[in-house]
Structure 1
């Protein structure tokens, strides 16, 4: 025979199970349902654009830009390795450009965040320089570097350095000054404060800047690879355009988008990893 206490306990358990299922349903919708809906809308717009292009006699030669030919061609490019061969040099250039952006941007950002005088001195020059399109530096890069690869890496670094630099500086300025006072009272020198206080505290800000830098660098990379080089995703797109292979062009655009999405996901994971210092 069930006692009143047993009945109440069973009712509470059933309510907890209902709540858990409800929470799981909301989680599935937010994490899976919404992204799939967004992808479906994107594909629908792409398909509609392809249909409009194919139905117009003036634009019919561009009909292979539609989703069906593009994905069929993408499967071929992945199978024969062409997509991987094109992505490799581009990723190498992106990596080198981001490396130099971080190597230069983080120390300068720390200095700007720590010293008000340096921040005032560099404000106008930095704001002026960051407003110049990185591609406008192409003639300078060609003259300054012996290879096109070096010029492209330079352009990527020029584009990527500003998000890293300013995000780092902002992170340093948000550090509680009390931390520095406590460290000094404990006998910490400048190097120890940098390693134990500043860098751990601004880790999230650095990777947030890198996340923005990846997007900017990815945009700069493709047009930069149109000129001078015979490898990379930008070169593959330009070559497909010249040979009127619009299915290949669309397939390489998909590759660029997927790689960019994955790189952004890596940056988001790193930002979450270093988010502890913003939590109470």
Structure 2
């Protein structure tokens, strides 16, 4: 059955190109980097001007510490003291556990939905209904059902992350050429072999895309989920800074959340680009 497995190879990065194309690629990369740098400068400029307006407005000057200078100084202090790591690790742990559970549920269920039309038709309406419910709306139920706040938060993360994984896995299975299944059956493959040797390698690209979406949604949900009940995590740190009116610290934690989220998303994007199965664009 090894011949049935779709080719799964990393993208070639160092392929030789004609000199003209190499020069064009260098120019394109330089222009792209310049535009990204310009975007960062525009963002910082808008943030600075907004901070100045807040500081000079009598109605909002109490929030002047949201400006770049105090926020970045507080961020530096949090990094130096280790408080960023101390508060990030509990959030990342909850994200990791929630994503693992979502993967364990979402991939098998998505593959089954894509593989069997009866299951696809019977689950379509219920799943479309459930996935439209905000994960945070499950908070009261999670608090009643689970014995600890950590468990409740992990449940919310799972509810946020499972739907992109189900939908992406199912969509990946549906676009597999049916002739692959015919060839596999003609060669005597069992259903289990078809799933493991044909389907899973073919939908890996889709699963990684779904995982990227799932992590993004989960990271958005984790902060408000940690506002209640727990005494650790980035959401708790933001809530605590708000209660103590330390707006520079609050802004610093917002920066940390954005930075960590960017790193998580970029890592998933990098991995997705490296997985290039035959026929994927």
TM (normalized to structure 1)? 0.91
Tell me the residue number matched to 1:78: 79
Measured at CA, do residues 204 and 89 of structure 1 come closer, stay the same or move farther in structure 2, by a change above 3 Å? same
1: CA distance, partners of 2:247 / 2:150:
26
- How far apart are 1:186 and its partner, in Å? 1.2
1: CA distance, partners of 2:106 / 2:120:
14
- How far apart are 1:47 and its partner, in Å? 1.2
Tell me the residue number matched to 1:65: 66
- If asked which structure has higher relative contact order (CA below 8 Å, sep 6+), I would say 2
Measured at CA, do residues 35 and 142 of structure 1 come closer, stay the same or move farther in structure 2, by a change above 3 Å? same
* Pair 1:114 & 2:115 matched: yes
Instruction: Tell me which moved more, 220-229 or 45-54.
Output: 45-54
Greater Cα radius of gyration, structure 1 or 2: 1
* Pair 1:200 & 2:201 matched: yes
Tell me the residue number matched to 1:24: 26
2: CA distance, partners of 1:194 / 1:81:
46
Tell me the residue number matched to 1:3: none
Alignment of 1:144-223 (within 5 A): 144-223=145-224
Structure 1 gaps of 5+ residues are 1-15
Q: Secondary structure, in 3 states, of the residue corresponding to 2:245?
A: coil
Alignment of 1:229-240 (within 5 A): 229-240=230-241
Q: Deviations over 1:115-134 (max 9, x none)?
A: 11111110111111111111
Q: Secondary structure, in 3 states, of the residue corresponding to 1:278?
A: coil
Q: Which protein has the bigger helix share?
A: 1
Q: 1:204·1:274 contact (CA, 8 Å) conserved in 2?
A: yes
TM (normalized to structure 2)? 0.91
- How far apart are 1:22 and its partner, in Å? 4.5
Tell me the residue number matched to 1:37: 38
Tell me the residue number matched to 1:141: 142
- How far apart are 1:21 and its partner, in Å? 3.9
Q: 1:214·1:264 contact (CA, 8 Å) conserved in 2?
A: yes
Q: How many residues are matched?
A: 264
Measured at CA, do residues 20 and 108 of structure 1 come closer, stay the same or move farther in structure 2, by a change above 3 Å? closer
Structure 2 gaps of 5+ residues are 1-17
